[in-house]
Amino acid sequence: MEANSIEIEETIPASRKLQKEDARKLLKGARRLIVAKGRKVTEYELGTRIAGATVDAMLGPTGNLRAPTAIVGSTVLVGFNEDAYGEVLT
Statement: residue 1 has pLDDT above 70: no
The single-letter code of the amino acid at 15 is S
pLDDT at residue number 5: 65
* 66/40 Cα distance (integer angstroms): 14
- Give 48's pLDDT tier (boundaries 50, 70, 90): confident
59-83: string of b/e by CB count within 10 Å (b at 16+)? Answer: beeeebbbeebbeeeebbbbbebee
Percent share of the chain, pLDDT over 90:
67
* Per-residue pLDDT tens digits for 4-33: 666 777 788 878 899 999 999 999 989 999
pLDDT at residue number 14: 78
Closest to 70 measured CA to CA, from 82, 83, 56, 80: 80
* 66/36 Cα distance (integer angstroms): 9
